[in-house]
Structure 1
Amino acid sequence: MIEPTTAARPLAADNPFAAPSTLDHGTPRFDRIADEHFRPALLAGLEERAEEVRAIATSAEAPTFANTIEALERCGRLLARTSAVFSSLCATDVNPARQELQTELAPLFAAASDAIWMDAELFARVEAVHADRASLADAEQRRLVERYHTLFVRRGARLDAVAQERMRAINSELSSLSTAFNEHLRAETNDLALLVETEAELAGLSKGAISAAADAARAAGHESGFLIGIELPTSQGALGQLADRAVRQRLFEAASARGSRGNAHDTRALAIRMATLRAERAKLLGAKNHAEYVLADEMAGTPEAVQEMLAGLIPRIVARAEEEERDLRARFATTNPGAELEPWDWAKVAEEVRAERFDLDDDEVRQYFPLRRVLEDGVFFMARELYGIEMRERTDLPVYHPDVRAWEVLEEDGTTIGLFYGDYFARASKRGGAWMTSFAEQSTLHEQLPLVVNVMNVPKPGAGQEALLSFDQVTTMFHEFGHALHGLLSSVRHPLLSGTSVPRDFVEFPSQLHEDFAFDPRVLERCAVHHETGAPLPTEFVEKIRAARAYGQGFDAFEYVAAASLDLAWHTLAPGAVVEDAEAFEKSALEHLGLAHPLIPPRYRTCYFAHIFAGGYAAGYYAYLWSEALAADGFAGMQEAGGMVREAGRRAREAVLGRGLTLEPMDMYRAFRGRELDTAPLLERRGLA
């Protein structure tokens, strides 16, 4: 067996990445890590991994699982622990030094990856092990061999020298373009944050939100006024609350203008170039377009399967959205005679209709959902009831920002299974949205427990104020913790198959599966308590919240399928196709599908569609809906098993959450559900039945 060499350039002994952290479970030494440590550690890590891989590729020993496949899994430990921290901080707490280094190293990382996947000697060894995989008695080993072989082929191992050279150039440029898109969007988002001068202009916002806006203005260097940050989607949360129509218009137009203002941070040319390069790369790899290439490795299988799914839903979604539009126009005409309903009015008028029809005030609902209580008495309670795990806060462990908290995750018998970090407040140095990431993935090969992070962008309250959540934010917290559970409960040997290392259209299944537990009566009994009076959420509010959420499904589904369809339009471009105007392309694509609604823009427009141009979801944004079908049916199954009970959790853990990618995703789903997928619960969940 090949033992990886460590003869690469040495790191200074005082570099926190030079050796594995001695803190519990390999927790990163955030108390010692400084920006100057990243560059030497990343470069040394790249060099070390390259030497380890070359030793495997040039070994004189006959290729075996141990000396080839598992040896690859052992490679690059320095790079793994450094890059996990660096990439996470570039998303959650970027600064000029980190941004500059990320830009500098992006093409170098792409080249280093290509050097592995296109190494002919190494691929010959992988092919030899793959050809003999039936001799392996261990199912996970066979799965790992098959996965490595698939990845080598998909990343160019079988291309000739000329094609490989072109693919390396494409990958290098795409890496730089993706980094640039992310940087431009962050700069635009901060630059377009809406400054208003008077508190009166913020009528409709809660006291806590107004206080947070005042603090945000001071933090941004304004001596007076109030600053409303821009959220990642087109639709902004504050649009449903702001009474001042002119302020709503300014906020909507600011959010919609990101990346399309013709300034130094314009992203339109970046998007066109990325889509064009992806199409060219797909052709090199034998696919008709990028979507065909991507989806061949997903549950969906083909672009046609995704298009068929969307086409079957679009007529129902459009009809539901038009029904909602008629309601809103009627309401708006009574309160704004002579005025035309505009996109920036939709959310506010919808809230008025909800309040009137369901006797529900969104701001009143927020008073019952303080962030800390939702997390500790809601999300963590769900995890304990389903999976028997306990969360013990570790204030002694260093964190990367003062707003971050850390918890040790334990089984009922006291065995530690991982660490969980919660980073919930928005800041200028954090990209928009909500996500889960990891500082380390679970692996018995490396005796490594998972170190998992959940990130959100809840406006930070003013001093002495509680952070209060809308119910959408509550379900987002449950959603992201579903991802966290997928990482924390993983129980596999090999990192490549660990935790959330599954297809895009399956990875959203565990997250969405846990969203509906936010409605569980026992969860609400514990976490939905008025932050001032301590009074429990009135029972009648729960059904009102359900009904009110169902009312807006037309809008929500429409903006989502518009974005998913736009993603597919960009990534079914034929190789060699020329796009000169990103906005004209977007308009044409949406009109072709009947999704160019004057009042409901896509959830993400091209120029700020970070999921597909900076986030790994290219040709994959449909995955949320695909996974939602699994989640809706899966949640129905958990309810049949008793709901939020240990037996339901045991089944989910054994069949899905603990498996990583050691089995085919649909096989995991069948084992969990006990039958094939039924899509009827999805239609009911979306109000489209």
Structure 2
Amino acid sequence: MVNPLLDDSDLDFGMPHFEALRLEHFAPALDEAMARQSTAVERIATDPTPPTFENTIEALEQSGALLDRVTAVFFNQLDSDASPEIDRLDAEYSPRLARHRDSITQHPGLFERIEAVWQARAQLDEEARFLTQRYRTEFMRAGAALDDAAQQRLREINAELAELTSRFDAHLQADTNHLAVEFDDHDELAGLGPGELSTAEAAARERNSAARYVVALPLPTGHPWLSLLERPSTRERIMSASRARGSRPGANDNRPLVRRIAELRAERAGLLGFDDHAAWVTADETAESPARVRELLQRLSAAAARNARMEQSSLETLAGHDIAASDWSWYDEQLRQAEFDFAASELRPYFEADRVLHDGVFFAANQLYGITMHERDDLPAHHADVRVYEVRDHDGARLGLFLYDAYARPSKRGGAWMNELRTGASMLGGDAIVVNTHNIPKPAAGEPTLLTYDEVNTLFHEFGHALHGLLSSARYPKLWGTNVPRDFVEFPSQVNEMWMLWPDVLENYAAHYETGERMPQRLVDKLLAARKHGEGFATSEYLAAALLDQAWHSLKPGQRVDDVAVFEAAALADAGLDNPAVPPRYSSTYFQHVFGGGYDAGYYSYIWSEVLDADTVEWFKENGGLTRENGDHFRRTVLSVGGSKPALEAFREFRGRDAEIEPLLRRRGLE
């Protein structure tokens, strides 16, 4: 085997030969894959025969299959198990990949052939017509119609942006690891249970720290342990470390990168004929314009800020003094206990990770769609912690592989996400391989993995993305699975969260890890009663981040920002969300979603999709809930469609009408 990335895998489901993969394989594989696609594209563009869907659009889909496969493995490795060496490869190849994409989307002969196929679209079936439209739109948005000078500048911008976003991610990961908070005195961590202490000790050993305990930082501003830690000084140390990421002079300073990325995106938007980057992004989303995005965010932000202030008043009454951001979670948990007579920590013994996954997440999918999951210990994965499951349909047909990478490690970027290692598009004849990656703190050997409420919710959420891929029946790779508008992609995953607390599902997985006793009904009742507790804070911190994202990407071409902190403070003040006790979920220098993760001008997508999600939950409740009939309807109209038709058209086919916002307002206490 010369290069496991270039050879067709002989493993079941086409699983890559991870056991043979070495760092030195990536560069030659990326070079070869780009070269092969360039040759294929030139052949398509110079084909002397008249352009047809088959010799132009389908040929383009086939031309990138190898590069898609190689980059999927490369970027999955970069995100989940990075090293200085792979970071250097990313810094080198991200700009090269950007230039390669530009050489295709700005190829004049190729665009002419796409336009010719588009003009003859009446003879195509619906999926082929929609695919042609997607190519035409993509090429126009990438500058295919610009003159040579503008295209040259666009290529320079894209290459620089690729390099800068790569550096942003590398800085953030390095600073997150560097700022992990060390403790020697057990008393400083008073309030943590044996499981959390075990995790902190394991983190210290993994990092070879001289300290006894290390508290690693999650991607969001707030740390889940802030609700448990009794000492204000400890809470403040953790909060300060979290908020400092990427914002200090030195090697990991992300402030110059944030400013430059925003400026370049604004300049690119101007070249393409848009007022700003947000306008360029939303023009190809279901939102269609920044004005519609701002209308929704502003409609919600005033009520959310009001609710957060009322919550803050209650917390300060309880505390007897003003509270800082680092204190909010602690006093909020005390208030929850006082009002609902239960602590969030009471839930964890009933949320053992394996049981949640198999008897909760997989069980709900089986009840809805008839699919089954079978662990495959014989197939290699990209890390020793990763588990591999074969997924089969209700009739035994193969659907693909699901890889689950649960635990946090210093080499993994923060957050949770779904990747695809291999498309299941029928045109290419392969099986889907999808990955869910989380950052659950890993306990010491022999200790159970007990999840928080939010971690269970994340498990259901990310598996919703996996289902969107595994159940897609789209023929073409560009339309397969989660290749939908960014402000629609969160919709199926958010819908899947509803099953976490659905009675039949909760009853099936929520069992005490030691005794096997089911979660007592009294605790279930208290959990359900407290679901809206703290919603003002949760909505405000999210909206603050979403509006901050919009502010950065509303800069006009040529507009400069001198001070990141001053700009951020002004943006939050303009939105009425400048409450020091409620910081944004992500501040600019560690806002990976928008400066490194592809959600630029699109972080609003979560709340935008939640309008559809909340309305869909109402539909399931009205129609009997967790049934195969309901699951099959959602699968047929939404999940299997992928991106093969307009997203809101798919929603209307599912719901029978457009979405209504009232269910969302009720859910978040914003009526």
What residue is the counterpart of 2:334 in the other structure?
352
1:245–1:345 contact (8 Å) kept in structure 2: yes
Aligned partner of 1:421 in structure 2 is 403
CA distance in 1, matches of 2:42, 2:364: 47
Structural mapping, 1:73-152, within 5 Å: 73-136=61-124, 138-152=125-139
- The CA distance in 1 between the partners of 2:191 and 2:489, in whole Å, is 37
- The equivalent residue for 2:634 is 652
- The superposition leaves residues 532-579 of structure 1 with CA deviations (integer Å, 9 ceiling, x where unpaired) of 121110112223223323111000000000000000000000111111
CA contact (8 A) 1:641 1:647 kept: no
Distance in 2 separating the partners of 1:280 and 1:173? 12
Is the Cα contact below 8 Å between 1:391 and 1:409 reproduced in 2?
yes
> Which deviations, in whole Å up to 9, do the C-alpha atoms of 1:163-183 show, x marking residues without a partner?
000000000000000000000
State which of 141, 144, 161 in structure 1 corresponds to 2:148. 161
CA contact 2:403–2:436 (8 Å) conserved in 1? yes
Q: Distance in 2 between matches of 1:542 and 1:28?
A: 43
Structure 2: which amino acid aligns with 1:318? A
1:509-544 residue CA offsets vs partner (Å, 9 max, x unmatched): 000001011011111111101111211101122232
Confirm or deny: 8 A CA contact 1:426 1:457 kept in the other structure.
Answer: yes
Pairwise mapping of residues 196-345 of structure 1 onto structure 2 (< 5 A)?
A: 196-333=183-320, 339-345=321-327
Deviation, 1:18, is 2.3
Q: In structure 2, what is the equivalent of residue 190 of structure 1?
A: 177
Equivalent pair of 1:41/1:78 in contact (CA under 8 Å)? no
Moved more, 278-287 or 634-643: 634-643
SS in 1 for 2:214: strand
Q: Is the partner of 1:263 in helix, strand or coil?
A: coil
Three-state SS of the structure 2 residue aligned to 1:31 is helix
Q: Distance in 2 between matches of 1:442 and 1:542?
A: 39
How do 1:495-506 residues align onto structure 2 when only pairs under 5 Å count? Answer: 495-506=477-488
Q: Provide, for residues 190-210 of structure 1, a one-character-per-residue CA deviation record: whole Å limited to 9, x for no partner.
A: 000000112221111121110
Specify every segment of 5 or more residues in structure 2 that has no aligned partner in the other structure, as ranges.
none
1:407 aligned to which of 380, 389, 392: 389
**Which runs of structure 2 are paired with 1:38-77 in the superposition (5 Å)?**
38-77=26-65
Q: CA deviation at 1:62?
A: 0.6
Shift of 1:638: 1.3
The aligned amino acid for 1:355 is: Q
Post-superposition offset of 1:41: 0.7
Q: How does 1:257-656 map to 2 (within 5 A)?
A: 257-333=244-320, 339-656=321-638
Q: Secondary structure at the match of 1:367?
A: helix
Distance 1:663 1:112 in 2: 28
Structure 1 counterpart of 2:15, one-letter code = T
- Report the AA paired with residue 38 of structure 1: F
Report how far residue 679 of structure 1 moved: 1.0
Letter in 2 for 1:357: E
Give the structure-2-normalised TM-score.
0.99
Contact 1:498 1:661 in 2 (8 A): yes
Rounded to whole Å, the distance in 2 between the matches of 1:301 and 1:131 is 24
Verify the 8 A CA contact 2:183 2:211 in the aligned structure 1.
no
Q: Amino acid of the residue matched to residue 265 of structure 1?
A: N
Does the 8 A contact of 1:321 with 1:555 survive in 2?
yes
Q: Any conservation in 2 of the 1:482–1:514 contact (CA below 8 Å)?
A: yes
Distance in 2 between the 1:648 and 1:73 partners?
A: 33
Match of 1:679 in 2: 661
CA distance in 2, matches of 1:564, 1:505: 12
4+ residue runs of structure 1 moved beyond 4 angstroms? Answer: none
Supply the AA of the counterpart residue of 1:310. Answer: L
Tell me how far apart the structure 2 counterparts of residues 688 and 677 of structure 1 sit (CA, whole Å): 17
Range 156-165 or range 527-536, more displaced: 527-536
CA deviation profile, 1:612-647 (whole Å, cap 9, x unmatched)? 000000000000000001000011111222101101
Instruction: Give the superposition deviation at 1:79.
Output: 1.6
Give the partner amino acid of 2:43: A
Equivalent residues, number: 671
Rounded Cα–Cα distance in structure 2 between residues aligned with 1:247 and 1:322: 25
CA distance in 2, matches of 1:291, 1:222: 43
What TM-score, normalized by structure 1, do the two folds share?
0.97
Q: Is the 2:318–2:335 contact (alpha carbons within 8 Å) kept by the matching residues of 1?
A: yes
Q: Displacement, 1:103?
A: 0.8
| AA in 2 matched with 1:196 | F
Partners of 1:19 and 1:78 within 8 A in 2: no
Q: Provide the C-alpha distance between the structure 2 equivalents of 1:454 and 1:17, rounded to a whole number of angstroms.
A: 21
SS of match in other structure, 1:549: coil
Runs (5+) with no aligned partner, structure 1: 1-12, 334-338
Partner Cα distance (2:176, 2:6) in 1: 36
